[in-house]
Amino acid sequence: MQKNALYNKLTSKFLLAFERNEPDIPIIGMLSLLGHPLFYFIWSHTLPQPYENLICRLINVTVGIPFVFYKNLSERLKKIFPVFFFIGITFLLPFFFSFMLHKNEWNTTWFISTLIALAILILLIEDWILILFLSITGYSLAFLTVWLLDGQIRFTYFEWLYVPTFFFLLLVGVITSHRKQTANQTKISMLQSLSGSIAHEMRNPLHSIANAISSLQSILPDKPGKKENDKYSQNHELSRSGLISLHNIIEESSKTVIRANKIIDSVLTNLQGQSVDRNTFRQISAISSVHDAICDYSYESPDDRNLIKVLGEKDFDFFGDKDIFVYVLFNLIKNALYYKEKPGFFIEISTQTGSNGNTIKVRDTGPGIPASKLERVFDDFYTSGKNDGIGLGLSFCKRVLTSFGGQITCNSKENEWTEFILQFPLYHSKKAENLKKKVLQGKNILIVDNNSSNRRIVEKYLNEWHCNTKHAHNGIQALSMLVQQHFDLILMSLEMPTVSGDEVVRQIRRKKHNAQFPTTNYKQIPIIGLSNRSESEAKQRYLRSGMNELIPAPPRRKHIHALLEKYFFSETEPLIHNTDTSLDNAGILIVDDNHTSRKFISFVLERMGARVMQAKNGEEALEHLEKNDYELIFMDMEMPVLNGINTTRIIRDGKRFKRFGKYREIPIIALTGNTDDANITLAKQSGMNDHLGKPFGKEDLARVLSAWLKK
């Protein structure tokens, strides 16, 4: 293992030195081509030396010829040229000059020439380890060659002064090369510092944009509520839907600014060698991230989008930050598209799931990467095959994947393809769990319960996840602690003496922002009710107070784990209960073949206090209506078996029912992704009362409920 590591390190140094000298290789060849004939004439005729050899000079000229024509060599020859380069340099400089030094029996002329050759070697190679290696190798081979040819080594003109002079030059060369390497590191540090200044300058306009958006929101009328339809239609030229759309655009722009700042922070983290901040990590869908990256990438032309293919869409979840990961995919797409002019070029992105981990592969049919450079592609400031770029993209990708608990590797076949393999641990693996615990170390959770046994149980389960916990014995103490400290989650017992838990929550929800802790928004803090009563008995209490949900007291370990997942690691932010809306156990039927859509609507309605049932198609809906009483129906227009239009017509006709008698007056709300006039007209003609365009938000849902539920 140590030998392999030493070999790889030495190989890496050779390749780096070769790449540094690559532009000057023809010049080195020309110096050999012209210099050896010239000095042969000088040392033979003008200033004759004890020994000179035309054959040696011609061999040197022959070695230099490939250097001269390096740029015209075939790709096959260029692959092996680094080996020839170092053999040639060793022969042309330390070997030849040491050979001639021994053959001339160490006279002054050739000693000075050998010193000049050593100085040239130092200028070319720069790395002191390679300088020593090549010098010792060349000198040793020259000594051995002369000894084999002559049977002895003569030191007729040798002076002991030569020894300190030679080693002084070698020492100066080593120190100089070391200082160059140090200067290079200093330059990198300066670039890191410069990146901080650049990021600061980038933040200024982003901050100005954020301020402008805030100012615009303060000038605009408040976003209309569900009861303000008439007022806004009379008092404003901008329609209500237009005003809501304007607000939505502004809100989305603000989120974009936040994402941009997050990317800046991530790039800075990469440049400064720091670890990625994991506080924004959530449960992320791989397929969703891939599609977002492909859709949001800024292509140079529309045709570039068609070069990307997504294969084998096997979805999986991983623990990470979606915005940062999309930026990782941006880097890989950008690197690949650099070679889009190659005939037949395309990019394939595929996902794979496994029992030990999951992967995303990004493959392009570009020119590939030489095997000798694969190990270095993730190094800082390293680029391969590009004229532009500063070599930070792939090192950023590596740092991000490492922060996710995974890794990124690269495979390539030169002139055919390059493939980056992104590996992720399973979402419920031990590795992901350890990352979550690191995030939860910064979360403050308040436990409010007069029962000490319950408090200890909750604290035990939270401590298993490394959460910071505080206790309050009653509601008054809890209110006092909230003023003094910010909490990310509150667990509140409903049954407490003096002031009940639901009354405490009502007071918390009425609180304004804490000036001392400006991040504390009392309306947004998730508050979980703890009760040993049945859910039906405690349901209205926790809903009307403003709690998010209710779990049994004392809770089980699985309840606490589910809470942490939902409120800290869910990609979709958990919904905060709105105390202004209470559906008071109203029966609502959701008919939709899309499981996610049914789940979302059910979640919102149940938080508002509704009694919700679900049906996957029209036939199931008709069966539900015959068996149970409902006050409103949400009906998807496009479903298998029996679609929404035909189902509504059957309901309004009433002939299928024996028990259900409200078939004419029950409100039916269309759910559709097509909100054009033709579809809306079709929905109304079938007997539907209103429509919601997919996707829709909580406010759209509240508008429909307030308009069609009599209560």
Cβ distance 621 to 589 under 8 Å?
Answer: yes
Cβ distance 391 to 380 under 8 Å?
Answer: yes
What's the CATH number for 587-708? 3.40.50.2300
pLDDT at 416 over 70: yes
Distance CA 642, CA 421 (A): 44
Taking phi over 0 as left and psi of -120 to 50 as alpha, with beta for the rest, 466 belongs to left
What is the tens place of the pLDDT at every residue in 102-111?
A: 999 999 899 8
- State which H helix or E strand residue 448 sits in: strand 444-448
Phi first, then psi: give them for residue 59, nearest 5 degrees.
Answer: -60, -40
Per-residue model confidence (pLDDT) at position 446: 95
Per-residue model confidence (pLDDT) at position 178: 62
What's the CATH number for 441-568? 3.40.50.2300
Tokens 């918390």 sit on residue: 508
Tokens 């910010």 sit on residue: 486
What percentage of the chain reaches a pLDDT higher than 70? 77
Lookup: tokens for 308? 């990307």
For the chain, the first-to-last Cα distance in angstroms comes to 77
Q: Which one is predicted more confidently, 694 or 671?
A: 671
What is the tens place of the pLDDT at every residue in 346-402?
A: 999 999 999 999 999 999 998 888 877 777 777 766 566 555 555 567 888 888 899
Per-residue model confidence (pLDDT) at position 312: 76
Task: Describe the strand order of the beta sheet including 468-472 as a list of residue ranges.
Answer: 468-472, 444-448, 489-493, 527-531, 549-552
Distance CA 466, CA 445 (A): 11
pLDDT at 310 over 70: yes
pLDDT at 138 over 60: yes
Per-residue model confidence (pLDDT) at position 233: 46
Mean pLDDT (the chain) is 81
What is the tens place of the pLDDT at every residue in 520-551?
A: 667 778 999 898 887 767 776 777 777 888 88
What is the tens place of the pLDDT at every residue in 45-91?
A: 888 999 999 999 999 999 989 999 988 888 888 888 888 988 989 99
Lookup: tokens for 59? 């061999």
Cβ distance 527 to 510 under 8 Å?
Answer: no
Distance CA 526, CA 247 (A): 25
Q: Which residues have CB under 8 Å from 185's CB, separation 6+? A: none
- Tally the residues of the chain: 711
Fold of 282-430: Heat Shock Protein 90 (3.30.565)
What is the tens place of the pLDDT at every residue in 238-289?
A: 555 556 656 666 666 666 666 666 666 666 655 555 667 788 889 999 998 9
Lookup: tokens for 90? 């060793």
In this structure, of 46-55, 230-239, 626-635, the range with the lowest mean pLDDT score is 230-239
Per-residue model confidence (pLDDT) at position 508: 85
Per-residue confidence at 200, pLDDT binned at 50, 70, 90? very low
Q: What would you report as the CA-atom Rg of the chain, rounded to the nearest whole angstrom?
A: 37
